[in-house]
Homo-oligomer: A and B are copies of this chain.
Amino acid sequence: MLTLEDARKALAKGSVIIFAGPCTVVYEGRATSRLGVGERLVLIKKDRSILVHRPTGHEPVNWQPAGSMIDFLTENGLPVIRASNANELLKISFTAQPSLMVFDLRDTAEFEMYASEEDMKKAVLAKPSLVEPGFKPLEEERQVKRTGRVDILGLDALGRLVVVELKRKPATPEDVRQLSAYVESLNSEFGRKPRAILAAPSTTKAARREMEKTSVEFRCLTPRRCMQVLREAKGLDSYL
């Protein structure tokens, strides 16, 4: 059975601490919130961020960011957690002895985030040379008669119309056929056949065979590369 003294040591040591039990929660800061008695989990992390979780909902009901001043006190023989910073105070008062758990967690892995197709489109619009040098986007999500929406319509360095279709997964024969259908539709609409570029991280073998039968060109473009471009373009933090 761990005690508050163990929690203090764990906090000093940089362990992750969980309290589980019935408590009330008061927050005073920019606004004020009060939460009556209920059974909750309180997580205190290595960086002194603190989260109060109810049994439902993916959001914590209260939380304080990293760097809070955290104190473990006792009021009427029961634990009280105070987490504060310059302008805010979060006070968690247990109404019965909580369970207390301590975990020494080591985690140095890098979180890798890869873009969606929508993100890939944003990256190409931010940096059209991802498709090819001299590519100029004209229109995105253009409706093509009866066949769907083209990701990006643009002009190449020689002024020829180019249809670009973006895929975040290996291109399939179905992707090639879809793009060929756009080419035919745009051909009948404009009276000239556009170039067609399928930009994806790779292709399946079947897709490569399908491409040999058509005029669809392949361009290697990974979601990861797009993410880098977006990151450079506006800073990942503001982007995510």
Where the two chains meet, the residues of A that have a C-beta atom closer than 8 Å to any C-beta of B are 14, 16, 18, 20, 24, 30-41, 43, 45-47, 49-51, 53-58, 60-61, 63-66, 99, 101, 103-116, 118-119, 168, 223
Contact = CB atoms under 8 A, between A and B. Distances in A.
Nearest to A14: B55
Contact of A56 (B46, B61, B104): B46
Nearest to A16: B55
Given A38-B109, A113-B33, A63 B54 contact: no
Contacts of A36: 109-110
Contact of A55 (B18, B54, B105): B105
A206 B54 CA distance: 41
A6 B4 CA distance: 29
A36 B57 CA distance: 26
Contacts of A43: 41, 53
Question: Which of A41, A50, A64 has most B Cβ within 10 Å?
Answer: A41
B34 A112 contact: yes
A57 B58 CA distance: 15
15 contacts: A16-B55, A18-B41, A20-B103, A20-B105, A31-B116, A31-B119, A38-B106, A38-B109, A39-B107, A40-B107, A41-B43, A43-B53, A45-B57, A58-B66, A61-B111
A166 to B, nearest CB: 13
Contacts of A110: 35-36
B35 A45 contact: no
A113 B110 CA distance: 37
A114 B63 contact: no
A119 B57 CA distance: 25
